[in-house]
Every structure is written in structure tokens, then in C-alpha cells.
Amino acid sequence: MEKESRTNNIYIARHRKMNFVIENFSEKYFKQVKQIICSNFQNPWKDSNILFKAENSIKKVVVEINSCKVLGYIDGYTLLNEADLLLIVVRKEYQNRGIGSALLKYFLDHIKQKNIQRVYLEVSEKNQTAINLYKKFGFEIYGRRENYYGNGEDAILMKLELNGLEKNADKR
């Protein structure tokens, strides 16, 4: 991040000549988020999964300031001292520009303030880009779920112990 600031649940950043905000997901972003999810996944989430919001949910969007275009979306939740990262997705034409990293950094900073000790996620064995992103942030593989996805792909199970986050901070 070249420059960042926070105001009332909005995270403002200037990164790689892009100005964007990370803010709470709301229904006004639903159509754009659904389109991004559908263009990235063979088995996209149902509308109800995107719209569902529990008290412990963390749903954020990255919005380009000048165009109000949603560039990415993250969804997760906390339970007691753990978090589950359900989804990070970035608009295809904006991938590999740091948007996914910005979302993941925001998520981890946010849950760290809530004294969360570990984070879990599942990722397709074929999604090497995502696996590399998670490893960059210190996630480690701890298992596999066979035929987890509807297309027969296995899920790689990953976790992050947050007490180890600081030692990996210089790698990001």
C-alpha cells in the first residue's frame, strides 16, 4: 500500500496508481459482486449466500473511487476466537494488481483487533494464484477435502495462526 487511512468502517487506499475504498458490502453492490463471482467460478454462490449477513459476518467490497466500480469482494465470519474466510474474489481485469492482497490484509487487520487467534479457509487445488496469495500471508496447508467442489476438484485446507502474522509481514 502506498497510502492508506481509515474512517468509520471505510478503508481508503492509493495503490499502484489506483484510488479505492474498502467498505461494507450492501445490497447496492449485489449485482456487481454477483457478476464478479459468476465470472470467476464454475459453481458460483447462490444469491442468498451473498446477501446473508449475520452479526459476526465480515463482508467488504473494494470500490474504485472515480467510477464506483466494484473491483473485489471478501466474505468471512468470526466465531469465538477463530475466523473462517469464505471467499475473496477480484474482477478478472483487475487481478494481479494487489486488490486481493488489500482485501486479505484488511480482513486480517480487522479480525486481529477482535483477538482472533486463527483463520481457516478452503481453496481449490487448481487455484494456485489464491494458494500463493494465502501462503504470502503466512497460511499453511493442513489438509485436503476430496471432491469438495461440484466439479470434482479437491479443496486444500489452509490455516493461519495469527500470532505468526508479524513474522510474515515483511514478505507482503
- Active-site residue (options: 29, 77, 106, 134): 134
- What is the structure's pLDDT at 85? 97
Pairing of β 82-90 and β 70-79: antiparallel
Contact 46, 33 (CB under 8 A): no
Lowest mean pLDDT among 7-11, 70-74, 107-111, 147-151: 7-11
Share of the chain above pLDDT 90, in %: 64
Rounded mean pLDDT of the chain?
Answer: 85
What mean pLDDT do residues 161-169 have? 63
Predicted structure pTM score: 0.84
| Higher-confidence position of 114 and 13 | 114
Q: Assess whether 73 carries a catalytic annotation.
A: no
Lowest mean pLDDT among 41-45, 112-116, 137-141, 155-159: 41-45
- Write down the domain spans for the chain: 3-171
3-state SS of 12-64 is EEEECCEEEEEEECCHHHHHHHHHHHHHHCCCCCCHHHHHCCCCCEEEEEEEE
**CB contact set of 10 (below 8 Å; sequence gap of 6+):** 21, 22, 23
Q: Assess whether 29 carries a catalytic annotation.
A: no
- Active-site residue (options: 122, 125, 148, 153): 122
Query: Which fold would CATH assign to domain 3-171?
Result: Aminopeptidase (3.40.630)
